Amino acid sequence: MIRAIRSAGIRRAVVAKSRGGAPKPGQGIDDDALRLALDAGYVIGGYHNYSWIQGRWIEQDPSLRDAAIVQADGTHKTIANPWDPKGRLDRCPAAHRSTFVDIGKSTRKLGINYFFTDCTTTGGVLQECYGAQHPVTRSEGAQALHRSLSALKQLGFIVGSERGKWWATQSTDIFEGIETLIEYGGPFYGSGDATHWVGPYRKDRPGYETLFLGYDFNPARRVPLFQLVYHDSVYCTRRWNQDAGRDRSLWNRHDLMNILYGTPALWFMHPKAGNVIGTEAWSRHRDRYLKSYRDVCGWHETIGFDEMTEHRFLSSDRLVQETHFSSGWGVVVNFSQHSWRDPRGFVVPPEAFRRLAPVSTRGDDVIKKR
């Protein structure tokens, strides 16, 4: 796969391997793949989730309960989900650091430079803990998690986590999923099997049009408040199971929203999706994926480390919008099915964007049609 990514002309990538089976150092990343990825300048690593304490782990090591959140009544709260029907416990925010450091050291020795920790920066992670070993308030918990994530950075990792919160913007480099409005999208992903990963979306469920399309994929109802504050701090993506190829009718919308918000493309490759780069199936999708790479990631390479300094709606239906960045670059994005005649003297075709160069290089303005 790494050879195929390189041969496709992809110069920059964060390659994150999802975990299969029990966790282990390196998450099964092949030594040659690691060498090739590092040689290409890629960021590469695996998936970890030690913010949860899985029921099957507790069966093997009951002492893991000692790291779990203790409720006010002195009990643990067991939470079942499709991936752990026996139930899991949530790790106390103050009980992460030693686990992160131990796993991180063994992983970093292999040469891996990316550490993704799932669920660590999600909305429900901050809970009070009343345990005698690690009591914390929510604000203390945020500080403790910040220190734990910072410890991974001190080991030399690029650090990623799920969703993302303001208190982790100094200690986390990548927020996966923050661009997805999960409350409006979650019911339409599918169940806890391959339908959850690769689709198709559950369009038959009530609310698909009004919630999923009406909010999650409706730029007229979204304002990039997080990017206006933290664009220069954290690399933000959509949720892992919102690969644009999952519904090709939404692909243009995916790309245009990323371009407007200055966020990169996310590809989730899975054999059941028929989109794994380097396989025969890839040839059917190659050109469209690489167009996203050129348009979205090419733009992100220009403004990825900038502050977002301005966002505004240009049309009354809010389907034509503009953002500007601290380097002087800006972009006008037209989500509509009609051309936009801008009062500044240019036209943006339907489902297209126009990059606005800094004043000193204004002759480099470029129109891109989807």
Confidence label for 296 from pLDDT (cuts 50, 70 and 90): very high
Name the one residue in this structure whose structure tokens are 């408040």.
225
Complete edge-to-edge strand list for the sheet that includes strand 52-53: 52-53, 84-90, 79-81
Confidence at residue 194, expressed as pLDDT on a 0 to 100 scale: 82
Q: Which two tokens stand for residue 294?
A: 């050129």
Q: How far apart are the first and last CA of the chain?
A: 27
Q: Which CATH number fits domain 2-308: 1.10.540, 2.40.33, 3.20.20, 3.40.50?
A: 3.20.20
Least confident span in 148-157, 183-192, 229-238: 183-192
Per-residue pLDDT tens over the stretch 324-335: 999 999 999 999
pLDDT tens, residue by residue, 92-127: 999 999 999 999 999 999 999 999 999 999 988 899
Strands 330-334 and 352-356: antiparallel
Q: What is the pLDDT of residues 231-287, one digit of tens each?
A: 999 999 999 999 999 999 999 999 999 999 999 999 999 888 889 998 999 999 999
| Sheet arrangement for strand 235-237 | 14-17, 43-48, 114-117, 158-162, 174-176, 235-237
Q: What is the Cα–Cα distance from 8 to 2, expressed in whole angstroms?
A: 10
Q: What is the pLDDT of residues 351-366, one digit of tens each?
A: 999 999 998 765 556 5
Instruction: Show the DSSP H helices in the chain as ranges.
Output: 2-7, 31-40, 55-60, 97-108, 138-154, 182-185, 194-198, 225-230, 251-261, 286-292, 298-303
Handedness of CA 183, 128, 192, 118 (dihedral sign): positive
Nearest-5° Cα angle at 241, 239 to 242: 70
The residue extents of the domains of the chain are 2-308
Quote the CA–CA distance of 34 and 229 in Å, as a whole number: 34
How far apart CA 90 and CA 317 sit, in angstroms, is 44
Name 41's Cβ contacts closer than 8 Å, sequence gap at least 6: 11, 12
The CA distance from 370 to 368, in Å, is: 7
Cis peptide before 23 (omega within 30 of 0): no
Give the integer Cα–Cα distance in Å for 279 and 191: 26
Residue 302 has pLDDT above 90, yes or no: yes
In this prediction, residue 23 carries a pLDDT of 55
User: CA nearest 322: which of 366, 262, 363, 362?
Assistant: 262
DSSP lists the bridge partners of residue 150 as none
Nearest to 366 by CA among 346, 351, 336, 342: 346
Residues of the chain above pLDDT 90, percent: 82
Q: Is 73 exposed, middle or buried (0-12, 13-18, 19+ CB in 10 A)?
A: exposed
pTM of the model: 0.93
